């Protein structure tokens, strides 16, 4: 039974967003404050871990205070605290984990350690109050590309994942070589709208039936080679065509494998999660192909796609229903896996 009187304070600091949220029950967002560090890291072309940690330290308490203020609650009203403890940058994670432990200890309330990837999937429960498992989730973020069978709120099977680069990582690297600012995903998304997606045939690795692993490093190298060759020959590159053709190759593989995974699992629902879920072409094409295949398709709105604490709070709430609490020895686990849970 959903306990709407239960107030969860959630904290997220795994990468370059310091975020805190207050949830009433599992699915009602009272506040979701996100302080992004993107402008700070932009001049370096990517996230600088040491700077990220320092910014999290400066931001964490003001962000928590603001989340409580917007939710119109005080710390003593909070019933439990959820925090991302991995995967992510160790120094960044430690800031959130330490703050959460200190608050849980001083308020004498339960602490819940949340896997960031599970949080991304659970963003969909916030965006779609009617959504229930079972479904297949396609998690595409800056660090991960995975297909997950979500059997119920606490049972997950990893169907397949990337062998090398994550989809978001490929977007960011290709954008960087094209001289576009960090993070590259939204830039490529925008530029691709002006280009011809059929202009260049970039490779679509591991495509074919029954293979649920991804690989994007070959595609990334193919794009870099294309750009370097053109540069050496003194040819002018149509960057919009490169962006559109690259994006097409990523999207084709994601959609093909996601639909196969839904069919293979004997399910009828597909859920999109992670920062790359904000990609407009991916959403549009997944909408069309799921509709053609008779599959229900869910994705979160933009704010809930990228890193935010509300999704962590949602996951934490469902863990609390199972008694899945952490103790004060909770540590950051930078390479935390989305392991099969039963």
Give the residue with the Cβ less far from ligand KG4, 24 or 214.
214
Number of residues that bind ligand KG4 (CB under 6 A): 19
312 binds ligand KG4 per the rule CB under 6 A: no
Cβ neighbourhood burial of 301 (10 Å; 0-12, 13-18, 19+):
exposed
Pick from 82, 96, 113, 184: which binds ligand KG4 (CB under 6 A)? 184
Could you say whether residue 171 binds ligand KG4 (CB under 6 A)?
Answer: yes
Q: Contact, 82 vs 317, CB < 8 A?
A: yes
Q: What is the 3-state secondary structure (H, E, C) of 113-182?
A: EEEHHHHHHHHHHHHCCCCCCCEEEEEECCCCEEEEEEEECCEEEEEEEECCCCHHHHHHHHHHHCCCCC
| Interface residue with Zn ion, options 13, 80, 141, 161 (CB under 5 A) | 141
User: Should residue 189 be labelled a site residue for ligand KG4 when binding is judged by CB under 6 A?
Assistant: yes
Taking residue 218's Cβ as centre, other Cβ atoms within 10 Å add up to 17
| Shortest CB 265 distance to Zn ion, Å | 24
Q: Is 86 in the site for ligand KG4 (CB under 6 A)?
A: no
Q: Which is nearer to ligand KG4, 118 or 172 (CB)?
A: 172
**Dist CA 112 CA 8 (whole Å):** 10
Report the nearest approach of Zn ion to the CB of residue 33 (Å).
16
Is residue 263 within 8 Å of residue 109, measured between CB atoms? no
Binder of residue 279, out of ligand KG4, Zn ion, none (CB less than 5 to 8 A by kind): ligand KG4
Residue 15 touching ligand KG4 (CB under 6 A): yes
290 binds, among Zn ion, ligand KG4, none (CB under 5 to 8 A by kind): none
Binding stretches for Zn ion (CB under 5 A): 141, 307
């Amino acid at each position: 039974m959903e306990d709407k009187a239960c107030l969860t304070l959630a904290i997220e600091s795994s990468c370059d967003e310091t975020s805190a949220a207050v949830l009433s029950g599992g699915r009602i967002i009272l506040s979701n404050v996100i302080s992004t560090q993107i402008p700070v890291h932009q001049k370096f072309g990517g996230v600088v871990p040491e700077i990220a940690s320092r910014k999290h330290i400066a931001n964490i308490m003001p962000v928590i205070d603001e989340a409580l203020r917007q939710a119109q609650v005080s710390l003593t009203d909070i019933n439990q605290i959820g925090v991302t403890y991995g995967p992510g940058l160790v120094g960044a994670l430690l800031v959130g984990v330490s703050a959460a432990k200190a608050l849980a200890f001083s308020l004498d309330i339960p602490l819940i350690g949340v896997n960031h990837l599970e949080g991304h999937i659970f963003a969909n429960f916030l965006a779609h109050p009617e959504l229930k498992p079972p479904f297949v989730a396609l998690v595409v973020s800056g660090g991960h590309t995975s297909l997950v069978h979500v059997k119920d709120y606490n049972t997950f099977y990893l169907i397949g994942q990337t062998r090398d680069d994550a989809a978001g990582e490929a977007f960011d690297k290709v954008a960087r070589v094209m001289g576009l600012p960090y993070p590259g995903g939204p830039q490529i998304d925008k530029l691709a709208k002006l280009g011809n997606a059929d202009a260049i045939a970039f490779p679509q690795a591991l495509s074919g039936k029954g293979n649920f692993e991804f690989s994007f490093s070959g595609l990334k190298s193919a794009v870099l080679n294309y750009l370097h060759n053109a540069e050496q020959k003194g040819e002018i590159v149509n960057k919009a065509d490169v962006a559109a053709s690259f994006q097409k190759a990523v999207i084709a593989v994601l959609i093909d494998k996601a639909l196969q995974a839904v069919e293979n699992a004997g399910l009828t629902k597909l859920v999109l999660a992670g920062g790359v879920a904000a990609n407009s072409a991916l959403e549009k094409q997944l909408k069309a192909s799921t509709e053609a295949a008779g599959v229900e398709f869910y994705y979160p709105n933009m704010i809930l796609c990228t890193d935010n604490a509300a999704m962590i709070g949602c996951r934490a709430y469902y863990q609390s229903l199972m008694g899945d609490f952490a103790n004060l020895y909770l540590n950051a686990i930078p390479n935390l896996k989305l392991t099969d849970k039963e």
